[in-house]
Amino acid sequence: MIRWVWAFLDRPTQRFDECATFWSTITGTQLSPRRGANDEFLTLLPDPALFAVAGVKMQAVTGLGGVHLDIDVDDVTAAVRIALDLDAELVANHKSYAVLRSPGGQIFCFTPSGRAKGTPAPAFRAPDGTLTRLDQVCLDIGPTGHAAETRFWTTLTNWDLTQGRLPEFARLRAKEPMPVQLLLQRLGEDRPTSAHIDLASADIDATAAWHQSLGATLVESHGHWIVMSDPADALYCITGRDPNGV
């Protein structure tokens, strides 16, 4: 059912240009021309020489913003029926796409499949030589709804579910190349499901230092990951994983 998955970074309008420049820089991509009724959308475009397909878009929004998924499918109406049968909620039904909410509260969209299919962008080499790649959307799930939310995303995607290195983490990976995978994180407190971006890094400390020089802020440092906030104060993580996806 799923043809492509987009990580969508929703950022406040007043900080959008700064955020777009930041995310373009740390992913080694170029900003597409703005589009939409209010010029609110853009895509982070990989270097054409890489022959890679984009997997990250951005949207200027009112409020604090966040992260959501756009899921390209062949038949939006059929996909909506499947999601509703899995206890999702229909938020808005537009002519060519639909906005839904997962049982735990995470917003996502079904969008018509198009030309976005092929090889995802490879790891990007930072100025100091460190490899990084934006390759994961982490769903932050409260303990009460964790089992139901895990069942929902596992069934909806039909991706392979594997346990992470810590018991509170599990990962959903597609059976074919996709620009992002899903990390399911069980939180210690109940709250609606939300999402943030994870980047794989060969050296999390070096990557964090570079991001700070570009306007990010270090929030918390853990053994295998560092929590950061971007120029709009949106949280994301730099994680100690192979950026080449091996």
Give, for all 246 residues of the chain, the pLDDT tens digit.
899 999 999 999 999 999 999 999 999 999 999 999 999 999 999 999 999 999 999 999 998 889 999 999 999 999 999 999 999 999 999 989 999 999 999 999 999 987 657 889 999 999 999 999 999 999 999 999 999 999 999 999 999 999 988 899 999 999 999 999 999 999 999 999 999 999 999 999 999 999 999 999 999 999 899 999 999 999 999 999 999 975
- What is the CA angle 230-173-133, rounded to 5? 35
The continuous run of DSSP H or E covering 19 comes out as helix 16-27
Q: What is the pTM of this model?
A: 0.96
DSSP state of 103: T
Residue among 171, 161, 141 nearest 241 (CA): 171
Q: What is the distance between the alpha carbons of residues 63 and 66, in angstroms, rounded to a whole number?
A: 9
Q: What is the distance between the alpha carbons of residues 50 and 124, in angstroms, rounded to a whole number?
A: 11
